[in-house]
Amino acid sequence: MEFYRSHVLVCTGTGCTSSNSRSVISGLRKELADKGLEKEIQVIETGCFGFCNLGPIMVVYPEGVFYCRVSQDDIQEIVEEHFTKGRVVQRLLYHEPNTTVKTQEFNDIEFFKHQKRIALSNCGIINPEKIEEYIARDGYFALAKVLHEMKPEDVIEEIKKSGLRGRGGGGFPTGMKWNFAHKAQGDQKYVVCNADEGDPGAFMDRSVLEGDPHSVLEAMAIAGYAIGANQGYIYVRAEYPIAVERLRLAIEQAHKMGLLGKNIFGMGFDFDVDIRLGAGAFVCGEETALLTSIEGKRGEPRPRPPFPANSGLWGKPTIINNVETYANVTRIIRNGWEWFASMGTEKSKGTKVFALAGKIKNTGLIEVPMGTTLRTIVYDIGGGILNDKKFKAAQTGGPSGGCIPAELLDTPIDYDNLIAIGAMMGSGGLIVMDEDTCMVDIARFFLEFTQDESCGKCPPCRIGTKRMLEILTRICEGKGVPEDLENLETLAKTIKSAALCGLGQTAPNPVLSTLRYFRHEYEAHIYDKKCPAGVCKSLLSYKINEDKCRGCSLCARNCPAKAISGKVKEPFVIDPEKCIKCGACMEKCKFGAIERK
């Protein structure tokens, strides 16, 4: 069999023949022979493609190019351009009548319209595995500017004036932190990046590291210059293999280009970055615990003061900032503090990245100016609640934060407003909950988390969270007693004031905030032994509505506990003694006859 590099299919159906496909074929064969291509390109006559009004039709393989309305006059061009030079003849391609597809600009898409992407400005745009693409978008120019034009004090002043606050949750002014470390005495200082994103439901840091790793490296070098450090560490979760890999590659590339290492830009400044992997301990997101973990020990926190700025890693002055904070730094240096400070609210400048998830239509990673309302985030960007259910609450700050109820949807989100309403900014997890979410169950869920992750060093956290969890579990199981609520509040206050580190001090927040806004749900569990959202199993009962039941027996056949009985074509009954409340019957029933109370 002869090998042809290309096959040309020309339609010889009735339609195309009447629009002269025969002459196209003969013309094509002749032209190919003239150019000596007849051994390379095979012309095949085929049947109807079904686009008769566009005929004659010609399809070129292996590419699959679809030419329409080909006339004899086009043949020379097709052979010359397509078969000789390998260029598709654009004008002969099929074009939909009267419509050219118009696309929107990225920022005009509803999802992006209300956003302002600074920390995420490169994410999803550049290839994170190519340093050249970062440089093409002004990467490392901030570091160049700092080394060439600014004294360390100027850098700190710039960051201070920008109003940038720590994006990891606490919201401490970044410039002040840098200043403390700058002033601290020490032969050796360190710059640390906290990428131990432990808040379940938050993935901002991961996205930045995966999408724009160099922005973090560059900012760490800038911080190193500002405080007088030449070694940096990135402490990243081992659960983020892709982020780790891209960071490794980025460090290697930056080294190769001399953007990390010795004598950067020939200005006598050395800076290096190492990666340290976490090992699955939430408490290591707390700065003192993180430092102990980098030192290779159990990641237990220690009391502050001394603050890391004075005595951090191996006792040396150290600054720790979160990934998103660093991602903002390079942009502030490049665009000036005024630009950054022009965005946001009075005390919270710039933007905040949120991982929007839960019962929301558009799950995603968003970045909005500080002061944006929750309503804008949930309804304009998020597209509203899944299955058009009712919004109940949004949870921010993860296990350290609180719930924001529907009546506060219009609160402008910034550090101080969130604290005032009993939530907190946290690292940026924003979980949306609907009417089917039980707030007592959610409080229990978070307590279970912190209790599990408590390192056990201090008793208020170790024992206190355990007692709180016991009470919450009891309430969810329908064994709650009236004094439980008061006990929860007392325990919460004690733990808040007495725990050693941030994890313990904030652990009671989910309970306190749900008690504040959803006390009625707790009371329903305790007094009425009901779970209004229908989540807490022990408090549920399933019943078959006799009027709706058609007696099809589907539920009985699917009941794993054999708790449903009845005669076919007559209403079935659930035996509450045997029922394990799994809800399988309700899922299966086609008539909506099974009710949960």
Site for other proteins in 338-367 (CB under 8 A): 355, 357-359, 361-367
Q: Which of 49, 83, 240, 415 binds other proteins (CB under 8 A)?
A: 240
- Give me the helix-helix angle, 213-227 and 152-162, nearest 10°: 120
Tell me how far apart the alpha carbons of residues 96 and 85 are, in angstroms, rounded to a whole number: 27
Based on CB atoms, which residue is closest to other proteins, 265 or 339?
265
**Footprint on residues 1-60 left by other proteins (CB under 8 A):** 5
Cα distance between residue 200 and residue 188, in whole Å: 35
- Restricting to residues 243-262, name those near other proteins by CB under 8 A: 243, 257-259
Q: Contacting other proteins (CB under 8 A), which of 299, 308, 371, 402? A: 299
Contact between 154 and other proteins by CB under 8 A: the answer reads: no
Binding mask 443-462 for other proteins (x = CB under 8 A): --xx--x-----x-------
Shortest CB 74 distance to other proteins, Å: 16
Q: Are 322 and 194 spatial neighbours (Cβ–Cβ below 8 Å)?
A: yes
Report the distance separating Cα 434 and Cα 415, nearest Å: 24
Q: How far is the CB of 259 from other proteins (least distance, A)?
A: 5
In which element (H, E) is residue 363 found?
Answer: none
Match 């009546």 to its residue by tokens: 407
Beta-carbon contacts of residue 399 (< 8 Å; ≥ 6 apart)? 199, 200, 282, 446, 449, 450, 453, 506, 507, 510
Which of these, 322, 335, 121, lies nearest to 223 by C-alpha position? Answer: 322
Please state the three-class secondary structure of 553-579 as a single string.
CHHHHHCCCCCEECCCCCCCEECCCCC
For residue 574, the minimal CB distance to other proteins (Å) is: 19
Residue 399 near residue 446, CB atoms below 8 Å: yes
116-125: string of b/e by CB count within 10 Å (b at 16+)?
bbbbbbbbee
Which residue, 363 or 473, has its beta carbon nearer to other proteins?
Answer: 363
Residues in region 197-236 near other proteins by CB under 8 A: 197-203, 206-207, 210-212
Residues 245, 248, 252, 255, CA torsion sign = positive
CB of 454 to other proteins, least distance (A): 12
Min separation Cβ 582 and other proteins, Å: 8
557 forms part of the interface with other proteins (CB under 8 A): no
Task: Please report whether residue 102 would count as binding other proteins according to CB under 8 A.
Answer: yes
Q: Which among 88-96, 338-346, 478-486, 497-505 is the span making contact with other proteins, rule CB under 8 A?
A: 88-96
* Beta carbon of residue 185, minimum distance to other proteins (angstroms, whole number): 21
Q: What is the DSSP letter of 284?
A: G
- Is 108 among the residues that bind other proteins (CB under 8 A)? yes
With binding defined as CB under 8 A, does residue 105 bind other proteins?
Answer: yes
Note the maximum CA span of the chain: 98
Q: Quick one: 211 or 308, whose CB is closer to other proteins?
A: 211
Which residue from 88, 341, 540, 552 is in contact with other proteins, where contact means CB under 8 A?
88
In whole angstroms, how close is the CB of 243 to other proteins at the nearest point?
Answer: 8
Collapsed DSSP state (helix, strand, coil) of residue 230: coil
Sign of CA dihedral 357, 358, 363, 366: negative
Strands 231-236 and 65-67: unpaired
Q: Does 294 bind other proteins (CB under 8 A)?
A: yes
d(CA 511, CA 413): 21
579 makes contact with other proteins (CB under 8 A): no
Which residues have C-beta within 8 Å of that of residue 76, sequence separation ≥ 6? Answer: 31
Query: From the CB of 302, what's the least distance to other proteins, in Å?
Result: 15
Instruction: Judge whether 166 and 237 are in contact, CB under 8 Å.
Output: no
Please identify which residue in 36, 97, 296, 305 interacts with other proteins, judged by CB under 8 A.
Answer: 296
- The least CB distance from residue 26 to other proteins, in Å, is 25
464-523: contacts with other proteins (CB under 8 A): none
CB of 94 to other proteins, least distance (A): 6
The single residue among 77, 80, 81, 133 that binds other proteins, judged by CB under 8 A, is 133
The correct pick among 47, 50, 124, 315 for binding other proteins (CB under 8 A) is 124
User: What's the closest the beta carbon of residue 189 comes to other proteins, in angstroms?
Assistant: 15
